[in-house]
C-alpha cells in the first residue's frame, strides 16, 4: 500500500530523474527543520543561561520528553488512520493511579507487574474507544472527547479525593523513575524502545502500511480488502496501551499521583504529533517526527520560563506552531492533488 509520501515520489518526480521533486524535499525537510529549531532554541537559551545545558536540566527535559513520546507514538498510530484519541490524558491518569494504588497496597509487588497493570488498564480504555468508533459509527473526535470525561470521572470516583504520595510508594519504583544508565534516564530508554518498535512496524510490516492506506483513502482501503474495522480497533488499542504505559512512567517520575494526573496532556500530545509532521487528515507522517515534535514542545516548555517569557506566550507559540503545521499539511495535500490531476491529464 502507498502513502501520501509514496504518491509524491511516484507522481511528482519526472520519470528517470534521480533528483527529488520540490514537494519531496519539503517532506524530507520537515523533520530536519524541527531538529534545527530545537538546536537554535537550546543555543539561544544557553547563551544567556549556561545552566540550561547542564546535566540536570538536560535530564529533566529527557524525562519530560519520554512520557510525551510514548503518548505521541500511540497518538500517531491513531491519527494516520484519519482518527484522533483525545482521551489519552485521562487514560494516563487512570493507569497511573491504578499502578500507584497497587504498589501502595502491596509494597512487594515487582515493578514489571505494576507496568503490566497500567498497560492493561490503558488497553481496556483503548478497546472501549475502538469499539465505540467501530460499531457506534461515531466520529473518533466525539467518542474520545466523551471518554476523556468518563475516564477522568472514574479516576475521581476511585480516588475519592485522596492522593498517593511518594513516601507511600516503594523506593525501587521511585528509583526506576529517576535512575540513569550512562547519564540517560531509564524512562528515556523505554521511550526509545517504544519508538523504534512502532517505527519498524509502521514502515516494514503489512499491518502498519495498511494503517496508512486506511488514512489515505478509507474507500480505497476497503476495496483493497483491508480489514478496516480490525485495523481501527488495533490503532485505538495501541494508543490506549501506550497511554497506560505512560501513566506508569508518570507515577514513577513524579511519585505523587491523584485523580487529576495527566490533565491537559491530550492537547500537548496532539500538538506534538501535528507539529512533528503527522497529517491530521491521516495517511502520512512518522513516529520519528512525532517524537521530535514532543522534544520540541518539551524544550520550549523548559526554555521559555528560563528566558522569562510569560506562560501566555508559551501557549501562544505552541498554538502558532500547530497552525503552521496544519497549513503546511494542507499545502502538501494541495500539491499532491495537483500532481495527480496533471498526471491524469497526461495519461488521457
DSSP state string for 178-223: H-EETTEEHHHHHHHHHHHHHHHHHHHSHHHHHHHHHHH-HHHHHH
Residues 219-243, mean pLDDT to the nearest whole number: 92
Q: What b-and-e string marks burial along 63-92, b requiring 16 or more CB atoms within 10 Å of the CB?
A: bbbbbbbbbbbbbbbbbbbbbbbbbbbbbb
- CA 31/CA 25 separation, integer angstroms: 11
Pairwise CA distance, residues 273 & 257, whole Å: 26
Residue with cell 487529576: 260
Task: Cell numbers for 212, please give them.
Answer: 496508512
pLDDT tens readout for residues 276-331? 888 888 888 889 999 999 999 998 888 888 888 777 777 787 788 778 777 776 77
Predicted local confidence at residue 348, as pLDDT: 56
In the prediction, which pLDDT does 346 show?
Answer: 56
pLDDT, position 8: 40
Mean pLDDT of the chain: 85
The alpha carbon torsion through 113, 119, 120, 123 (nearest 10 deg) reads: -170
Convert the pLDDT of each residue in 102-159 to its tens digit.
999 888 899 999 999 999 999 999 999 999 999 988 899 999 999 999 999 999 999 8
- What is the per-residue pLDDT for 200? 94
pLDDT grade for 343, boundaries at 50, 70 and 90: low
- pTM for the whole structure: 0.86
Question: What does the pLDDT look like over 183-214, one tens digit per residue?
Answer: 889 999 999 999 999 999 998 999 999 999 99
pLDDT at residue 34, as a whole number: 83
Please, what is the angle between helix 22-48 and helix 311-347, to 10°?
170
Residue 236 has pLDDT above 80, yes or no: yes
User: Tell me, what's the pLDDT at 177?
Assistant: 87
As a CATH number, domain 60-343 is: 1.10.3470
Torsion from C-alpha of 55, 60, 61, 62, nearest 10 degrees: 90
Cβ atoms within 10 A of the Cβ of 340, count? 13
Q: What is the mean pLDDT of residues 230-259?
A: 94
pLDDT, tens digit, for every residue of 77-102? 999 999 999 999 999 999 999 999 99
Q: Give residue 223's pLDDT band: very low, low, confident or very high (50, 70, 90).
A: confident
Name which residue leads in pLDDT, 247 or 281: 247
Amino acid at each position: 500500500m502507498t502513502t501520501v509520501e509514496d504518491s509524491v515520489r511516484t507522481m511528482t518526480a519526472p520519470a528517470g530523474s534521480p533528483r527529488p521533486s520540490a514537494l519531496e524535499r519539503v517532506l524530507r525537510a520537515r523533520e530536519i527543520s524541527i531538529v534545527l529549531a530545537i538546536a537554535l532554541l537550546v543555543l539561544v537559551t544557553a547563551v544567556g543561561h549556561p545552566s540550561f545545558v547542564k546535566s540536570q536540566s538536560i535530564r529533566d527535559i529527557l524525562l519530560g520528553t519520554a512520557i510525551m513520546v510514548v503518548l505521541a507514538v500511540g497518538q500517531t498510530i491513531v491519527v494516520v488512520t484519519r482518527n484522533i484519541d483525545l482521551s489519552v490524558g485521562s487514560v494516563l491518569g487512570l493507569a497511573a493511579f491504578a499502578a500507584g494504588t497497587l504498589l501502595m497496597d502491596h509494597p512487594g509487588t515487582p515493578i514489571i507487574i505494576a507496568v503490566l497493570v497500567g498497560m492493561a488498564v490503558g488497553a481496556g480504555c483503548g478497546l472501549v474507544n475502538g469499539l465505540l468508533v467501530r460499531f457506534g459509527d461515531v466520529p473518533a473526535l466525539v467518542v474520545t472527547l466523551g471518554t476523556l470525561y468518563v475516564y477522568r470521572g472514574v479516576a475521581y470516583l476511585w480516588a475519592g479525593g485522596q492522593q498517593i504520595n511518594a513516601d507511600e510508594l516503594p523506593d525501587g519504583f521511585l528509583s526506576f523513575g529517576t535512575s540513569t544508565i550512562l547519564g540517560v534516564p531509564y524512562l528515556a530508554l523505554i521511550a526509545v524502545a517504544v519508538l523504534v518498535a512502532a517505527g519498524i512496524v509502521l514502515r516494514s510490516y503489512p499491518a502498519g502500511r495498511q494503517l496508512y492506506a486506511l488514512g489515505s483513502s478509507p474507500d480505497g482501503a476497503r476495496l483493497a480488502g483491508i480489514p478496516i474495522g480490525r485495523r481501527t480497533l488495533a490503532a485505538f488499542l495501541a494508543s490506549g496501551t501506550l497511554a497506560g504505559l505512560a501513566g506508569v512512567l508518570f507515577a514513577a517520575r513524579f511519585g505523587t499521583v491523584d485523580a487529576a494526573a495527566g490533565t491537559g496532556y491530550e492537547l500537548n500530545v496532539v500538538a506534538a504529533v501535528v507539529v512533528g509532521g503527522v497529517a491530521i487528515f491521516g495517511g502520512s507522517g512518522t513516529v520519528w517526527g512525532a517524537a521530535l515534535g514532543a522534544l520540541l514542545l518539551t524544550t520550549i516548555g523548559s526554555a521559555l520560563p528560563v528566558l522569562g517569557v510569560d506562560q501566555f506566550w508559551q501557549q501562544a507559540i505552541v498554538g502558532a506552531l500547530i497552525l503552521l503545521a496544519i497549513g503546511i499539511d494542507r499545502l502538501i495535500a494541495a500539491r499532491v492533488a495537483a500532481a495527480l490531476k496533471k498526471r491524469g491529464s497526461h495519461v488521457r
